[in-house]
Amino acid sequence: MSKQVIKTKNRTNKKRLLLYIILSLGAIMIFIAPLVHIYFPKKNPDIEDYRADLQVSVIDLGNEITSIRSEYDQGLITANEYFNKYDNLIIDKEKAESENRSLLNDKVDSERVFGWKTIRIFLVGFGIRLPYLLFSIIISLLIARIRTRDINLSRTFFFLQTSCYSIATYELVWVFWDSQDYPIDTYRVAIIAMCVLVGFLCTYAFRYYESNVYKIIKLKGSFMNFIVEIRNKHYKPMLRKAMIQGLYDEVYQEEIKEETKEFDNRLRDKAEELIN
């Protein structure tokens, strides 16, 4: 086995190994992505601590309300004093609760992860959508293996791939999109249009790469056939004539010249085919 053949075989094995690694990583990601969120807390600890701090003032007001009720029941304060204090405390408590809600919402917004309240919720949203893209790539790889010549089937596969990449892109963009400067319908239409375009470009790029790979494979087969043709149709007959009749026979010299010329023309045609 020649060094070139060994080198080509090693290169092929490396590409095959790389493909196996990529597919294996894809399988692992498909399995792990929807489940990785379980290792993160359901609630943001910083938010919960802040909520507890805000709740102190409300709890204190609630304790005061309970305290004046006890004083009233014990006859330590009059009914008029009780109702005045009670009304003021209720107003203060409602005001504190309202302020706390506003402060808590601001804190939640400041702690958001791409618009999601917690990292766990973000990972849930991202994890269940990432497989869309991975499945789209797998579908493209499977379609690449079919290599159909049916133009209608090929167009159907193109539409299928474009749809897969479009919805995968839409879902992933939606996960990371937290801006809300325009009405939600405006964002949806814009994102869908962009995702369809991205899906079309991804499918076309994959088809272009697939087409080039197929051409290279076909070209390799054609070249190997050409090598066999040279060996059987040109070299062997010329060598046989040289061995049987001798190179000094003028008749066979002319025949060898004609065959050599035919071989040169064939070699030139094949070279032009490979270059083009």
Banded model confidence at residue 146, pLDDT cuts 50, 70, 90: confident
**pLDDT tens track for 236-263:** 566 555 555 555 556 666 666 676 667 6
* Higher pLDDT, residue 147 or 27: 27
pLDDT, average across residues 92-105: 91
Which of these ranges, 10-19, 60-69, 113-122, has the smallest mean pLDDT? 10-19
Token pair of 143, please? 């379609």
Terminal CA-CA length for the chain? 30
Contact by Cβ (8 Å): 120, 41: yes
Provide the token pair at 174.
């939606």
**Which residues, in sequence order, are CB contacts of 176 under 8 Å at separation 6+?**
114
- Whether the predicted model's global pTM rises above the 0.75 cut: no
* Domain limits, the chain: 3-37+124-217, 45-110, 222-275
Tokens of 70: 């006890």
pLDDT of residue 39: 86
Task: State the maximum Cα–Cα separation within the chain, in Å, rounded to a whole number.
Answer: 143
Banded pLDDT at 216 (limits 50, 70, 90): low
Ranges 17-31, 51-65, 85-99: which has the least confidence: 17-31
Report whether pLDDT(4) > 60. Answer: no
With a pLDDT cut of 70, the percent of the chain lying above it is 66
Instruction: Tell me the residue type at 87.
Output: D
Read off the pLDDT of residues 47-62 as tens digits, 9 standing for 90 and up: 999 999 989 988 998 8
The pLDDT confidence band at residue 102, using thresholds 50, 70 and 90, is: very high
Contact between residue 29 and residue 134 where contact means Cβ atoms under 8 Å apart: yes
* Confidence class for position 13, pLDDT limits 50, 70, 90: confident
pLDDT value at residue 95: 92
* CA gyration radius, the chain: 38
